[in-house]
């Protein structure tokens, strides 16, 4: 078949352009009508200029980016408000009933794509970046949500307004959380609202460019939703349509939540790298998939009677240790303390941790693998105090908020059974991470928080006056003139924190060995603002200025100095004392700096080994008497308290002994995967020779946390000390 250009030209010549245009015009006049009013036009003009003014005001959020398309995005954001204004000013109504119904159905199926564009903009991507399965998954979830509202209301207008408002709010939260802590927003984060509120004032909420673009899209979608007019359907048609939507919704929801059909097809979160999952499969789809794992299921093949056998066949009986001469034990979980050299060489003007690096005598130290990055402090705390691992809990869940609802064995219960006193100290709000209840269930006699060491109305005053750290320092100077160096930025300094521990130690009940567990606050995230009380002494030798990283490393230097003061004090104390300090997670600083240390372009597709590096913090166990010095290259936080007990020479529960034995085979078990003694790295999706060993550990842990009525107390407690003793002793002391 040949293409004849001349014939084609002749055909075009024969077209009566005027007649065709007239027919087209008549068609639109008969079927469509453009309406406008003075009020709608004024509203459109005002909306356009207000939105454009906002974009101009925040133009630096675009121009400061380092990608070429920033100018296109800025131009789009400045022009789009006028398009929104036009849509507000003018309405198109469809006269033809058939066309109206077709358009109505089309809108129902097209709007999820607009919604997806909005949410993915907040996820840091555009829909063309998504995988095909990610696009389909997000589309279906959003469509189901539309159907849910339509089933009950029958109004597409309500569906658009309600669903988009909810998804916009969730996606905005996700966008900010990714910026603040580097991890996505998951359903379990709703349980952390109180804790998030306590530290919310430390972050910068200036809307980034993607939030601005998504906000324009959100407004546009709402305008479209408000403009939609639903054609008249017969009652029978309405019943049939709602019935079909109900069947579709119930069928898919039932298959997803109550069967493994979708799971077997791979429809599940990327458990061990949620950030990667949100990138590949989109925000709405990934967030929705996580909702299936809010509850804790019973491990396959779990029988309470097997737990004792699993433990006892791994440990050997030890001779009974004599009472007395037990060392005092102080454990410090230092907020965001990390040595970023584990990622790659950190080039700074001076060493950030000179004292910690110098410690060798009577010191056990090494790399601690923790379950979280950038945030989630209490999960590391949970692992340290209990010996359990969050790797066996639903991905992204928080043990303190969800699962500690009964008395539970811990480092505290083990030491209290041997006559130790017990103090929990955290110089911030007691409500954070549900610690008031959790510490009670663990058996701590005392919990000292910010409310106990200062008048928290000063914090309220500080927040209401613009979150100015210098203003808070002035208030502290005025009310507590004797408390020098109490603050660094707006948080209690490590130096003051450690002095409180020293003071509490000096005023202790000397008839008991002393145990204190301290969670510091100085280095908490929000590394943007400077303050007069903060010596920013560390600079990074780089052509790029990393504001957050520089401030963070300066805070680490202050922690190192404070730790030296603490060690110097106890070095001169006659009573045996062991001090353990470790970091809860690496900080949330510039991802570009982290990527440069790792030698990668971005953090989206790290290898398992690289991902594990992001979970490393330092740990130090120091004694003011002779202990065997050693350096441990790899140890996860679930083992650390057992190592502290062993180093202190006190009694261990069978569970502690089991964990120490397990650490010889699998020194690291965390949320990324696990590492064996031969330095082999594994993901949780891998089938390995360690599956049986890990399954047993999971069942033992389930028995301790969830099967409260059948907990084998003989392996988790010593000296007849059980769950009942925890609460009874707490109430009588």
pLDDT in tens, 400-431: 877 887 889 999 999 999 999 999 999 998 88
- How many CA atoms, within 13 angstroms, populate the side-chain half-sphere of residue 197? 11
Three-state SS for 517? strand
Backbone angles phi, psi at 15, to 5 degrees: -80, 130
Q: For residues 430 and 187, give the distance between their C-alpha atoms in angstroms, rounded to a whole number.
A: 23
**Would you tell me the crossing angle of helices 283-290 and 274-281 to the nearest 10 degrees?**
130
- Alpha-carbon span 230 to 245, nearest angstrom: 17
Q: How far is CA 584 from CA 277, 312, 321, 376, 619, in A?
A: 24, 31, 32, 8, 10
The torsion region of residue 124 among left (phi > 0), alpha (psi -120 to 50) and beta comes to left
Contact criterion met (CB below 8 Å) for 626 and 579: no
- Cβ proximity of 428 and 398 under 8 Å: no
The residues with which 330 forms a beta bridge, in sequence order, are 516, 579
pLDDT of residue 550: 95
Percent of the chain at pLDDT > 70 equals 88
Q: Which of 86-95, 296-305, 457-466 has the lowest mean pLDDT?
A: 86-95
Domain 324-341+352-451+490-538+548-591+602-732 CATH assignment equals 3.40.50.2020? no
Pick from 96-105, 149-158, 345-354: least confident: 96-105
Q: What pLDDT digit, counting tens, does each position of 331-359 carry?
A: 999 999 999 999 999 999 999 999 999 99
Residue 492 pairs in a beta bridge with 487
**Per-residue pLDDT at 356:** 97
Alpha helices in 513-590 (DSSP H): 547-571
Compute φ and ψ for 720, nearest 5 degrees: 70, 15
- Greater confidence, 321 or 566? 566
Angle separating helix axes 209-227 and 156-181, nearest 10 degrees: 170
Residue 385 predicted with pLDDT over 80: yes
Distance between CA 399 and CA 389 in Å, rounded?
Answer: 10
**Structure-model confidence comparison of residues 200 and 444, the more confident one:** 444
| Strands 328-334 and 577-583, sheet pairing | parallel
Confidence check: pLDDT of 276 > 60: yes
Q: What are phi and psi of 617, to 5 degrees?
A: -130, 165
Residue 593 Cα distances to 2, 370, 522, 590, 601, angstroms: 60, 21, 22, 5, 10
Return the top range by mean pLDDT from 26-40, 185-199, 450-464, 715-729: 450-464
Across the beta sheet with 363-369, the strand order is 446-449, 423-426, 515-519, 328-334, 577-583, 616-623, 363-369, 630-636
CB-CB contact of 582 with 384 (8 Å)? yes
Flag the least confident range among 5-14, 360-369, 708-717: 5-14
Three-class SS state of 6: helix
Q: Which of 15-29, 340-354, 446-460, 624-638 has the lowest mean pLDDT?
A: 15-29
Predicted confidence at residue 729, as pLDDT, reads: 47
> What digits encode the pLDDT tens for the residues 547-563?
999 999 999 999 999 99
C-beta neighbour count of 174 within 10 angstroms: 24
Residue 299 dihedral angles phi and psi, to the nearest 5°: -60, 145
Q: What is the mean pLDDT of the chain?
A: 87
Domain boundaries, the chain: 98-293, 324-341+352-451+490-538+548-591+602-732
> Rounded to an integer, what distance in angstroms lies between the CA atom of residue 87 and that of residue 79?
13
CA distances from 67 to 63, 72, 178, 549 (A): 9, 10, 19, 22
Give me the pLDDT at residue 322, please: 54
Q: Check pLDDT > 50 for residue 588.
A: yes
Are the CB atoms for 84 and 223 separated by under 8 Å?
A: yes
Cβ atoms 580, 616 nearer than 8 A: no
The mean pLDDT of 211-230, rounded to a whole number, is: 88
Provide DSSP, 412-473: HHHHHTTTB--EEEESS-TTGGGHHHHHHHHT-SEEEEHHHHS-THHHHHHHHTT--HHHHH
pLDDT score at 602: 85
Which residues are 697's β-sheet partners?
Answer: none
Mean pLDDT over 507-517 rounds to 94
Q: What is the DSSP string of 307-324?
A: HHHHHHTT----PPPPSS
CB 730 within 8 A of CB 437: no
pLDDT tens-place string over residues 670-717:
999 999 999 999 998 899 999 999 999 999 999 999 988 899 999 999
Query: CA 111, CA 87: separation in Å to the nearest integer?
Result: 16
Segment 81-107 shows an average pLDDT of 78
CB atoms within 10 A of CB 559: 29
Rounded to an integer, the average pLDDT of 203-221 is 88
Q: What does the DSSP 8-state code read for residue 292?
A: G
120-134, 449-463, 473-487: least confident range: 120-134
What is the average per-residue pLDDT within 612-633?
96
DSSP state of 518: E
């Amino acid at each position: 078949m040949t293409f004849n250009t001349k014939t084609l030209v002749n055909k075009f010549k024969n077209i009566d352009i005027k007649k065709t245009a007239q027919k087209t015009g008549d068609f639109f006049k008969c079927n469509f009508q453009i309406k406008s009013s003075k009020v709608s036009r004024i509203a459109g003009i005002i909306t356009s200029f207000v939105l454009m003014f906002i974009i101009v005001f925040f133009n630096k959020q675009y121009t400061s980016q380092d990608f070429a398309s920033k100018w296109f995005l800025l131009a789009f954001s400045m022009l789009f408000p006028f398009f929104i204004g036009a849509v507000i000013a003018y309405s198109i109504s469809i006269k033809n009933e058939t066309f109206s119904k077709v358009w109505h159905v089309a809108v129902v199926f097209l709007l999820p794509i607009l919604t997806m564009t909005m949410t993915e903009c907040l996820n840091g991507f555009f829909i063309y970046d998504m995988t095909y399965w990610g696009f389909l998954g997000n589309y279906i979830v959003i469509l189901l949500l539309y159907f849910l509202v339509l089933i009950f209301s029958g109004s597409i207008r309500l569906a658009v307004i309600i669903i988009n408002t909810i998804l916009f709010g969730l996606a905005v939260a996700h966008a900010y959380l990714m910026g603040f802590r580097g991890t996505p927003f998951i359903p379990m984060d709703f349980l952390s609202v109180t804790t998030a509120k306590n530290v919310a004032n430390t972050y910068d909420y200036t809307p980034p460019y993607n939030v601005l673009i998504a906000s324009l899209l959100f407004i546009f979608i709402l305008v479209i939703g408000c403009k939609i007019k639903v054609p008249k359907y017969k009652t029978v048609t309405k019943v049939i349509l709602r019935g079909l939507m109900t069947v579709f919704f119930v069928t898919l929801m039932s298959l997803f939540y109550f069967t493994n059909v979708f799971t077997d097809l791979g429809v599940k979160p990327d458990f061990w790298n949620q950030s990667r999952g949100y990138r590949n499969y989109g925000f709405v789809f990934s967030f929705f998939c996580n909702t299936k794992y809010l509850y804790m299921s019973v491990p396959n093949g779990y029988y309470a009677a097997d737990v004792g056998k699993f433990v006892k066949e791994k440990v050997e009986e030890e001779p009974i240790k004599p009472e007395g001469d037990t060392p005092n034990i102080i454990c410090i979980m230092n907020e965001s303390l990390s040595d970023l050299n584990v990622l790659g060489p950190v080039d700074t003007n001076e060493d950030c941790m000179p004292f910690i690096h110098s410690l060798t005598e009577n010191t056990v130290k090494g790399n601690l693998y923790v379950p979280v990055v950038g945030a989630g402090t209490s999960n590391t705390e949970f692992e340290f105090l209990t010996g359990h691992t969050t790797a066996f809990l639903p991905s992204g869940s928080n043990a303190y908020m969800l699962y500690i609802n009964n008395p539970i064995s811990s480092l505290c219960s083990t030491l209290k059974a041997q006559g130790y006193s017990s103090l929990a100290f955290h110089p911030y709000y007691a409500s954070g991470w549900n610690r008031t209840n959790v510490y009670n269930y663990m058996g701590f006699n005392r919990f000292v928080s910010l409310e106990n060491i200062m008048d928290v109305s000063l914090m309220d005053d500080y927040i209401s006056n613009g979150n100015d750290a210098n203003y808070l320092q002035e208030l502290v100077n005025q009310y507590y003139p004797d408390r020098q160096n109490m603050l660094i930025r707006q948080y209690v300094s490590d130096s003051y924190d450690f002095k409180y521990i020293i003071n509490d130690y000096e005023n202790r009940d000397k008839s008991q060995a002393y145990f204190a567990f301290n969670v510091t606050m100085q280095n908490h995230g929000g590394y943007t603002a400077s303050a007069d009380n903060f010596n920013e002494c560390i600079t990074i030798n780089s052509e790029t200025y990393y504001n957050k990283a520089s401030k963070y490393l300066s805070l680490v230097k202050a922690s190192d100095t404070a730790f030296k003061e603490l060690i110097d004090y106890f070095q001169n104390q006659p009573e045996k004392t062991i001090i353990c300090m470790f970091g809860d997670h690496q900080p949330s600083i510039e991802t570009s700096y982290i990527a440069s240390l790792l030698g990668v372009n971005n953090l989206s597709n790290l290898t398992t080994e690289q991902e594990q590096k992001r979970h490393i913090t330092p740990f130090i166990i120091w004694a003011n008497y002779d202990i065997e010095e050693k350096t441990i290259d790899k140890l996860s936080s679930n083992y650390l308290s057992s190592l502290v007990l062993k180093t202190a020479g006190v009694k261990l529960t069978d569970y502690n002994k089991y964990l120490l034995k397990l650490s010889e085979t699998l020194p690291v078990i965390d949320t990324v995967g696990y590492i064996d003694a031969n330095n082999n790295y594994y993901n949780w999706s891998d089938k390995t020779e360690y599956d049986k060993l890990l399954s047993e550990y999971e069942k033992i842990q389930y028995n301790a946390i969830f099967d409260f009525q059948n907990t084998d107390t003989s392996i988790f407690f010593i000296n007849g000390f059980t769950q009942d003793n925890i609460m009874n002793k707490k109430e009588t002391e």
